[in-house]
Amino acid sequence: MTIAPAPFTTAPSQPSRGVRDTGIDFVRALCVIGVVLLHAIMVGVTVVDGSPVFANASEGSAWITPLSWVLQVMPMFFVIGGFSGLIAYRRARERGGSARSFVAARLHRLLRPTVVTIGVVALALAVLTVLGVPADLLAIAGFRYGQPLWFLAVFLMCQALLPALVAAHERAPLRTIGLLTTTAIAVDGLRAITGVEALGFLNLAFVWMTLQQLGFFLADGRIDALSRRTRVVTGVIALAVLILTFVSGVYSPDLIANINPPTAALLLVGIVHTSVLSLMRDRVETISRRPAPSALTAFVTPRTMSIYLWHMPVLLLMAGVMAMFSLLSGRDLPSPGSLDWWAARPLWLALALSLTALVAVLVTRFERLPAPDCSTSSARVGTAVLLGLLGVLLLLVLGTSVATAVLALALALPSLRLAQNRSSAACSVAG
């Protein structure tokens, strides 16, 4: 079921579907699994001259390009984040909530399970240091753990800015997404002209905010209300332009390479994904209500952050166990990309998913605790977001060590406290 599009000068007061869109939840669950599978297949571990070597198995490999077209789900993830965020924010406003209370609650939901993970990782690194594990191996492990944290930093930023971006969407939806899109493309152009690669990291903001904004249109029902022909043509044109950028050398056909830093190619991927999702929306929703997909969604949805935060430590632990087994048994590990390596991938991926799910079950309570909904000041919430971002970025930029993890916690814990004004009489608990 869809609704007629609201005029572009006003925003619909209700989402286009029910209280929970099971189809959207199912797609989000698939995206989470896709992230775990992608990172799991990129883990490469070998033993060289009696020492373990951890590397990215996809580096220099031809197979990552076609695989990235299947498992590069981040554009869809941010579109869904915009979809869900808009609906959640409008519901909060209907209940009398403010923008700052919404941001404070989102901050707690994202950072609270994060500080637990960082604390456990810091303790593990300290124990391994005492046990005499070489510092270079710990540095590599810390770097690999910190790499996926870019998503947490960017998603936190997007959620913190969501009320402002919703306001802009409600005033001038086309102008807002057009400005964000133009800025993202301009960043790519400036990066290409100047040769300054660091400029590309500005798109950590503009590319992902644009995709979040696209999710607002999906939540409003405006995309579903377009004719089927229009949605098909839009998706086909976006795909054709994307392929043209690959052929012309503007962007790499490896969609993973287009994420660090993000490029406007991901905007085209997001348009293709959104077009397909809109066209198959009713079918996806029907599938999502079947027993197996419904059970998968029910498991992943309340554990999304736990799965995201813990899948990399699980993968690093698996790699370490494999290296230790090789050293103790004297058996060589297959080289990444070899036939033996590929033959072992199904078992490796199944084990990665199973262990990540097990850990997620054990730590879910930190994610499912109700977030505080407090009438604290905008300045406190803004400072809390800034401290939380700095804590995550510290691990992302410097890598994770005992020292950097302690510093990150020293920033994240005050962030959580600032976002909750415990002395306020209006402070209550939001479900």
pLDDT digits (tens, 9 = 90+) for 332-351: 888 888 899 999 999 999 99
Mean pLDDT throughout 22-42?
94
Count the neighbouring beta carbons within 10 Å of the beta carbon of residue 373: 22
Mean pLDDT throughout 1-25?
53
For all residues of the chain together, what is the average pLDDT?
89
Do 31 and 73 form a contact (C-beta atoms < 8 A)?
Answer: yes
Do 319 and 45 form a contact (C-beta atoms < 8 A)?
Answer: yes
pLDDT digits (tens, 9 = 90+) for 34-49: 999 999 999 888 877 7
Q: What is the pTM of this model?
A: 0.89
pLDDT digits (tens, 9 = 90+) for 219-249: 999 999 999 999 999 999 999 999 999 999 9
pLDDT of residue 337: 86
Split at pLDDT 50, 70, 90, the class of 383 is very high
Beta bridge partners of 373: 428
pLDDT of residue 36: 95
pLDDT of residue 59: 84
For the cut 60, the answer to whether the pLDDT of residue 7 exceeds it is no
> Within its chain, how far is the Cα of 132 from the centroid?
34
Indicate the range of 19-23, 114-118, 315-319, 411-415 predicted with least confidence.
19-23
pLDDT of residue 336: 87
What is the Cα–Cα distance from 174 to 258, expressed in whole angstroms? 25
pLDDT of residue 368: 80
Amino acid at residue number 199: L
pLDDT digits (tens, 9 = 90+) for 67-119: 999 999 999 999 999 999 999 999 999 988 889 889 999 999 999 999 999 99
**Cα dihedral 312/65/202/231 (nearest 10):** -110
Residues 6 or more apart in contact with residue 53 via CB below 8 angstroms: 45, 46, 47
Radius of gyration for the alpha carbons in the chain, expressed in angstroms and rounded: 22
Do 383 and 418 form a contact (C-beta atoms < 8 A)?
Answer: yes
Residues 6 or more apart in contact with residue 309 via CB below 8 angstroms: 113, 114, 117, 152
pLDDT of residue 3: 37
Of 237, 218, 265, whose CA–CA distance to 27 is shortest?
218
What is the Cα–Cα distance from 38 to 350, expressed in whole angstroms? 12
To the nearest whole percent, how much of the chain has pLDDT over 90? 71
pLDDT of residue 232: 97
Q: Which two tokens stand for residue 329?
A: 């048994």
pLDDT of residue 330: 80
Helix, strand, coil percentages, rounded to 5, for the chain: 75, 5, 25
Split at pLDDT 50, 70, 90, the class of 419 is confident
Q: Mark residue 373 as left, alpha or beta (left: phi above 0; alpha: psi -120 to 50; beta: remaining).
A: beta
pLDDT of residue 374: 57
Of 318, 337, 314, 341, whose CA–CA distance to 52 is shortest?
318
Mean pLDDT throughout 207-228?
96
Taking the chain, what is the end-to-end CA distance rounded to the nearest angstrom? 28
What is the Cα–Cα distance from 202 to 184, expressed in whole angstroms? 8
pLDDT of residue 249: 93
Count the neighbouring beta carbons within 10 Å of the beta carbon of residue 154: 21
pLDDT digits (tens, 9 = 90+) for 398-411: 889 999 999 999 99
Distances, alpha carbon 62 to alpha carbons 55, 59, 130, 348, in Å: 16, 9, 40, 20
52 vs 325, residue with greater confidence: 325
Distances, alpha carbon 187 to alpha carbons 79, 191, 211, 261, 419, in Å: 21, 6, 16, 11, 33
To the nearest whole percent, how much of the chain has pLDDT over 70? 91
pLDDT digits (tens, 9 = 90+) for 133-165: 888 888 988 888 988 899 999 999 999 999 999
pLDDT of residue 428: 38
Split at pLDDT 50, 70, 90, the class of 369 is confident
